[in-house]
């Protein structure tokens, strides 16, 4: 699964950057658990957690699509969309005076990737499992 692997590596670097950003902010604010009432830390924690909540499942679904023979063009389109979605979401939610459009775009595109991948699998997999 070379295409999914490539994007997974890029997304892992983004996750690492979000992790480091949150850790450094925790250290600077001296908040070990929670957000300490700081809006910046709350947003950093949510960006990081939201990424952890959605990206692994999206990558798994797309990896299954790749294993089922999805085209190179389809895979790049879906995975580049996921990367763009997560960058947009991270940028928007990270802003204390949040420009809501970035979050909305990021969430909508992430969910699009999730649903498109799931529906594609449902259209292909049942033939292989005896339905």
- Distance, CA of 54 to CA of 57 (rounded, Å): 6
Q: Is residue 68 part of a domain?
A: yes
Q: Is residue 21 part of a domain?
A: yes
The pLDDT value given to residue 130: 64
| Orientation angle between helical segments 72-94 and 100-128, nearest 10 degrees | 150
How many domains would you assign to the chain?
A: 1
pLDDT above 70 covers a percentage of the chain that reads 95
Length of the chain counted residue by residue: 131
CATH number at residue 66: 1.20.120.550
Residues 32-73: pLDDT tens digits? 999 999 999 999 999 999 999 999 999 999 999 999 999 999
Q: Is residue 40 part of a domain?
A: yes
In terms of residue numbers, what domain contains 50? Answer: 2-124
Tokens 């294993």 sit on residue: 67
Q: Is residue 129 part of a domain?
A: no
Q: Which two tokens stand for residue 4?
A: 């999914």
61 and 75 Cβ atoms separated by less than 8 Å: no
Q: Is residue 87 part of a domain?
A: yes
> In the predicted model, what is the mean pLDDT of the chain?
95
């Amino acid at each position: 699964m070379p295409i999914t692997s490539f994007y997974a590596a890029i997304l892992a670097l983004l996750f690492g950057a979000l992790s480091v950003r949150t850790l450094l902010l925790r250290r600077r604010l001296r908040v070990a658990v929670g957000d300490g009432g700081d809006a910046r830390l709350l947003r950093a924690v949510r960006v990081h957690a939201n990424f952890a909540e959605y990206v692994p499942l999206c990558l798994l679904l797309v990896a299954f699509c790749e294993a089922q023979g999805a085209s190179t063009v389809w895979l790049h389109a879906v995975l580049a969309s996921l990367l763009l979605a997560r960058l947009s979401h991270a940028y928007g939610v990270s802003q204390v005076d949040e420009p809501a459009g970035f979050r909305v775009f990021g969430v909508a595109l992430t969910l699009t990737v999730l649903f498109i991948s799931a529906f594609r699998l449902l259209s292909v997999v049942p033939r292989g499992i005896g339905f």
